[in-house]
Amino acid sequence: DNTVVCAENYHEIEQLAGFMFDNFRLDGHYYNIIRGETKAGDSIKHVPSEVLPSMYALVSALTKRYGERMFAADDAATRFVKSVAYVGTITTHYRTQQANFRKPTAWPFPCTAGETTAVIDYNGDVRACELRGKFASLGDFDYDFGALWEAEGRREELAAIDGGRACWCTHVCFIHDSMRHSRRAQLWETPKNYLTRSRW
């Protein structure tokens, strides 16, 4: 289950989180800070920065509880390894979101948007991520994605993104995919954030 945290619900996250954990057998419940353009306008994005540390501490602790429930049948060593991987990864998502909520902040690993992922819009336009403009259209390549992927337009888009140094976001799909392709994220950020999950 995913919940988008916004100006209208940030003060209810603790109550919602407890209710969902206690009343449903979810695999997990994740919290994504609002981003991008919204139909409700910019006022819905006015989540006070000062509430984020306590909110992220709460949901990181909750992620640990979901992990304990998910991995309860495993032996102690397996449970610990899975917990470090699961809780550390989700907490890394949260730390990256928090760091980029108000201002651009470099991720602790390269962004792989346009390298390992792409967004294909309803009309065939292709973007490296949902926050960037189109760099190509499938129609221009006779709907041959392989040809589009090898084209100069994608190489130019990758150069413009510059591993994430030229843009920033809080989009967990791209954060997670970039983490999967980074040894630093897997071997340093994930265990570090597991250990520091209560410190915000």
Please provide the average confidence, as pLDDT, over all residues in the chain.
Answer: 95
How far apart (Å, rounded) are the C-alpha atoms in residues 162 and 182?
A: 15
pLDDT at 73: 98
Quick: pLDDT tens for 144-158: 999 999 999 999 999
* Whether residue 163 has pLDDT greater than 90: no
Q: What would the pLDDT profile of 5-36 be if each residue is shown by its tens digit?
A: 999 999 999 999 999 999 999 999 999 999 87
Counting DSSP H helices and E strands in the chain, the numbers are: 8, 5
Q: Is the pLDDT of residue 167 over 80?
A: no
* Residue labelled with tokens 């346009």: 114
Of 158, 58, 48, 146, nearest to 113 by C-alpha is 158
What's the pLDDT band for 169 if we cut at 50, 70, 90?
confident
For residue 30, list its beta bridge partners: 2
**Secondary structure letter of residue 145 according to DSSP:** H
Q: Residue 183: is its pLDDT beyond 80? A: yes
Minimum mean pLDDT range among 7-21, 94-108, 134-148:
94-108
Domain map (residue ranges) of the chain:
2-107+169-195, 119-164
pLDDT for 63-83, tens place per residue? Answer: 999 999 999 999 999 999 999
Q: Which residues lie closer than 8 Å to 122 by C-beta, 6 or more apart?
A: none
